[in-house]
Chain A
Amino acid sequence: MRKVMFFLLLSSIPLFGQISLRNFSEYQWGNLPNSEPADLSTWYNQLNLEYRRDAVTVGLRHEVFQSAQEGRSYEHLAQRFVEWRQGPFTVRLGNFYATLGRGLTLRAFELPNVIFEQRERRKRYAYYRDIDGLLAHGKWNKIEVTALVGRPLNDAVPPDRNQNRRQGWLQGGQLVHRPWNWLAVGGAYLRTELPNILIAKNEINSLFGEINASSGIRRLGLNGSTLKFYGEHAASNVTDGNPFTARQPYADYLNANFTYKRFGLSSEYKEYRQFETHINQPPLGYMEHSYYLLNRSTHQLLADNETGYQVELTWRLNRSVFLLVNGSEAANHFFNQEYRFRERMAEVTFHPVEQMVGKFFYNVASDELKSEKTRQTGGLNMDWTFINSYSLSFDLQHQVVEQGVGEIHFGRFNNSYLALTLASSPDWSASLVMERSNDPAETDVPDTAIEEKAAISWLSVLAAWQISMAHEVQVFAGKRRGGLACTSGTCYEVLPFKGVELRWIAHF
């Protein structure tokens, strides 16, 4: 009887309001290659449930992880909130995300669909850095105000009953004023007490401004052009209680954009000094890559010590050809030694015939912090559409890395990647993925007397089926290479895997 009442109650909920849900469920049969047991099974489930009625929304996130190995399973209510939204006002109590300025001061964010697995404790959990507290936000045409107080999440600590993932407080806000269409000025203030990092108490201020000079440049005769500038300066008064270590960290970020007809130019300059606060994420100032081999080689920003620039040019020559050229450089200094990063990239998108689209790219880089003297990567990606809803895709990438420091040469290795995909829109896709590498970090088997050098391969199949608008199933089978992966500018480690993985994603 109680079950009948429960379902009657559930089915009546939508009569009074709107329910929305995202559930992500993943079952893995397998383990790290060469690990015991080979058939370690784990299950991860993340349920995000929201109920909205008129101006009020309540929501929660529930996370479960179950592992066949003892001491790794957990289950917890990861997030809960109540939000009131009326016209330009939003007030939210509970878990929230927020960005002040361009993230120099604060960036609380989430990488949806990324399930992070911590190597030491082999726990899998959602990748997000939120704040638990109170957020108030107002947004009008000329004024935007944000005020917040709460406890930030330390995402390096996995969910565990015995560990507090939220140690410390932050409080602050931001005011942005747009007095005219061509100008926006703002300021942010944040006070933090974060005992999990070295600096106990910190006050961060930032001032920023954006100028739209488009109408001025149009008056000069460049009709159809835009010109915009953005600048932000952030500084911190660190009080760690030690007069000998007192310091004045700062961060500067500048951006200028110009567009003319089908031509776009973006330029950025960054200078970050001792500005890694674990609650901020300043702009990168280098390229974010989604090509597989480039993504896993991405430079990693060190906000404690990095200066650099990035220039990107995009140009649509005609309806068939689109060109992207990017150049970026950065410098880090440690113990009077400078470490430089340089990257150049060119990409051409072309349509040889109506049903085909292709992309060709070439990238050359060097990253002294990673002992990479040169890294050259090239690739070709082709999509061919046929019988209206079917398509065949081909993605080939190759990379050559020369390792060394200064005049010393460590060695050279290659990475290759090939993916073939057959898809039918909007229902399904099936891919065959092959990868090969002779990177010594991959080929050398630990705990053996000799250094193995033979190239190794990874082979896998990936199938995705969108059953309905609400449900999607993905199956992975084979071997997955571990290493760095970057999503939306945030990089994290992916562990290698051998086995079968089944994902069910429900959204409605």
Chain B
Amino acid sequence: MKLAHLLIFPLLLFLSAIAGAQVEPFSLRDLDGQLVNAAEFIGKKPVLIDFWATWCKPCVKSLPKLQELHERYGDNGLIILGINEDGSRSLAKVEPMARSLGLTFRVLIDESGDIMRKYQVSGLPTTFLIDSSGNIVLTLRGYRPADEQTLKMEIEKLLQSPAL
């Protein structure tokens, strides 16, 4: 490794300390082909964004847990957006899977993977919890079976915050 390349590491630590965690809104189509503009929620309400795919077994394990969070906190203002990353190759399976899992939160289709790249997602599932100012307060990369407990605690903190 060249000495110049080693500079990447302190630079990363420095940049991560100064970079903001504000997210960029986006618009995607839902399962019925309707355009959903995330700017209607992001920066206004607490939003949970989950990137998933039908072939990803950990994602399919975590989706019923997210549905439980939607049923529990949806009326209190939490918005859940499930962004599907199957792409064009397995798009056919998305709606049957989502409906049979009983998902009633919004499922959006990121066919080109554009939003996944914008959110720097490198593996599935990846979950972001965003406060009502549009800042990411929690990121879960991959799935660990107790993640829903972690999410519950953070969501309750957000819903109790005076900003809401």
CA distance A263 to B117 in the complex (A): 32
Does B87 make an interface contact (CB < 8 A)?
A: yes
CA distance A505 to B142 in the complex (A): 13
Instruction: Choose among A141, A290, A391 the residue that contacts B144 (Cβ–Cβ < 8 A).
Output: A391
CA distance A249 to B97 in the complex (A): 33
Smallest beta-carbon distance B9→chain A, Å: 8
Q: A14 to B19, Cβ gap below 8 A?
A: yes
CA distance A349 to B58 in the complex (A): 12
* Known contacts A384-B145, A385-B146: A488-B99 contact under CB 8 Å: no
Q: B92 to A268, Cβ gap below 8 A?
A: yes
Stretch at the interface among B27-35, B41-49, B74-82, B156-164: B27-35
Q: B8 to A426, Cβ gap below 8 A?
A: no
Does A239 make an interface contact (CB < 8 A)?
A: no
Interface residues on A, range: 35 or more
Chain B residues 1 to 46 lying within 8 A of chain A, measured CB to CB, are 1-2, 5, 8-9, 12, 14-16, 18-22, 24, 27, 32-35
Hey, which chain A residues are within 8 Å of B64, CB to CB?
322
Instruction: Choose among A19, A140, A472 the residue that contacts B141 (Cβ–Cβ < 8 A).
Output: A472
* Known contacts A14-B19, A112-B123, A262-B102: A97-B138 contact under CB 8 Å: no
Instruction: Choose among B5, B15, B88, B100 the residue that contacts A259 (Cβ–Cβ < 8 A).
Output: B100
Instruction: Choose among A14, A23, A263, A359 the residue that contacts B12 (Cβ–Cβ < 8 A).
Output: A23
Q: A20 to B120, Cβ gap below 8 A?
A: yes
Does A228 make an interface contact (CB < 8 A)?
A: yes
Does A150 make an interface contact (CB < 8 A)?
A: no
Chain A residues 260 to 316 lying within 8 A of chain B, measured CB to CB, are 262-268, 281-284, 287-291, 312, 314-316
Hey, which chain B residues are within 8 Å of A24, CB to CB?
122
- Chain B contributes a number of interface residues (CB within 8 A of A) equal to 68
Q: B116 to A393, Cβ gap below 8 A?
A: no
* Known contacts A322-B101, A508-B19: A102-B91 contact under CB 8 Å: yes
Q: B146 to A424, Cβ gap below 8 A?
A: yes
CA distance A316 to B60 in the complex (A): 12
- Interface SS, A side: strand
Instruction: Choose among B20, B89, B147 the residue that contacts A488 (Cβ–Cβ < 8 A).
Output: B89
Q: B22 to A316, Cβ gap below 8 A?
A: no
Chain B interface residues toward A at CB < 8 A: 1-2, 5, 8-9, 12, 14-16, 18-22, 24, 27, 32-35, 53-58, 60-61, 64, 85-93, 95-102, 111-114, 116-117, 120-123, 136, 138-142, 144-147, 149-150
- Starting from the known contacts A107-B89, A184-B33, 8 additional A-B residue pairs (CB-CB under 8 Å) come to A47-B8, A112-B123, A259-B100, A266-B93, A267-B92, A284-B89, A316-B100, A488-B89
A–B complex contacts, Cβ < 8 Å, 21 sampled: A11-B18, A14-B18, A18-B24, A19-B15, A43-B5, A97-B112, A99-B112, A101-B88, A107-B89, A141-B34, A226-B95, A262-B100, A264-B96, A283-B92, A315-B100, A316-B100, A426-B147, A469-B136, A506-B16, A507-B122, A508-B19
Chain A interface residues toward B at CB < 8 A: 7, 10-11, 14, 18-25, 43, 45, 47-48, 52, 64, 66, 88, 97-99, 101-103, 107, 109-110, 112-113, 139-141, 178, 181, 184, 210, 212, 226, 228, 230, 255, 257-259, 262-268, 281-284, 287-291, 312, 314-316, 322, 349, 357, 359, 381, 383-385, 388-391, 393, 423-426, 429, 464, 466, 468-472, 488-489, 504-508
